[in-house]
Every structure is written in structure tokens, then in C-alpha cells.
Homo-oligomer: A and B are copies of this chain.
């Protein structure tokens, strides 16, 4: 790779591995936007186009649609896990962070719905691990006497609230999410991204 670095047709010169990381970031960002705007079934080419890369680059990074969805969600999940690591975290605070992500990402909402029979089964089964991580993070701060501490109540409550969060505008989504938690008689901390 010393003299042949000009072998790419034309277009931007080979920028080496650094471009790979940049492309991946661009793709994830593009996927997040496009999934939010047009649903989880957009043509994959739309993601590549938005990211400004060729389609094959998308395939290099994500072997299929599922992987792209998972990559988008991974970021949300990781933030929630980080929030859980914070020693000062409370359950209500965790719910605030969770709610923030629910209002932020349409794909994330879908993640927290339980598996729907037959629908897009691929995506769900491969992202199940992610939703378990979310739940584990929340349980770290769930007081034993909390009204959601029994059995699957937490799982259920999250699914129920995420169902409520369906609105075109962000503000509306937040209002609905908070209303849903209130209906469940669950206290929620401030709705915010975790910033450390």
C-alpha cells in the first residue's frame, strides 16, 4: 500500500482506516435519522445515501438491516448502562433517562416492545439482547419494595409506556410518556440524556 494508493477509480483518495471509523459513525447517524423519519423498513440504500457513502460500505459495516438497527440502538442502550453505573443513580432517575431515549428514537421504542408474532422477526430476535441489557440496568436500582419489583412488572411497564410514546413531535412524545408513567403511578425523575 505504498505506490498503489491511487487505485480507487476516482473520487476521494484512499483515506485509510480512519475513513472506516468516520464512515461507520456517519452510517449510524444516518440510520438513526432515516429510521426515525421513514420507519424501520426504508430501503437500505437510503441510509447509505444519507451517510454519503456507497452501498457496499454499508454492507461492510452492517451485514444486514438488523445489524444496522442494532447499531443504532446500541448507543442508546450504552447510555442507559452508563447512567446505571453512576453511584448516585436512583430508579426514578433511571426512568427519566429511559424516557428520554424513548422520546428520542423511534427505533428505540420498537426495541422495548415485546416480540410481535411474525413481524420482522429477524430484527427482534437479534436485538433481544439489547432490551435485556436495558432492563438489567434498570433493575440495578429497583428498590425491592417498589411497585414494579414483582415478576415481570418492570418489563411490562416499560413495554406499556413505550407504546404510549407515539407522536410526531418530540414534545408530545414526552408528555405522553409522562402521562403513561403517571397512570402507572410510578415516579419518574427528570427526562434527560445521561451525560455522566
Contact = CB atoms under 8 A, between A and B. Distances in A.
Interface of A: 1-3, 5, 9, 17, 35-43, 64-65, 106, 109, 113-122, 148, 152-153, 156-157, 159-164, 166-168, 176, 179-180, 183-185
A33 to B, nearest CB: 11
Contact of A5 (B35, B42, B122, B157): B122
Contacts of A163: 113, 159-160, 162-164
A114 B39 contact: no
Contact of A9 (B17, B41, B116, B120): B17
Contact of A184 (B115, B167, B184): B184
A2 B42 contact: yes
B183 A153 contact: yes
Residue with the greatest number of chain B CB neighbours at <10 A, chosen from A43, A121, A161, A183: A183
Residue with the greatest number of chain B CB neighbours at <10 A, chosen from A106, A116, A157, A162: A116
A156 B122 CA distance: 29
B156 A3 contact: no
Contact of A164 (B36, B120, B156, B166): B156
A183 B160 contact: yes
Contacts of A41: 1-2, 41, 119
A47 B148 CA distance: 41
Residue with the greatest number of chain B CB neighbours at <10 A, chosen from A42, A168, A179: A179
A2 B43 contact: yes
A116 B39 contact: yes
Given A106-B116, A115-B166, A65 B5 contact: yes
A157 B114 CA distance: 17
B164 A160 contact: yes
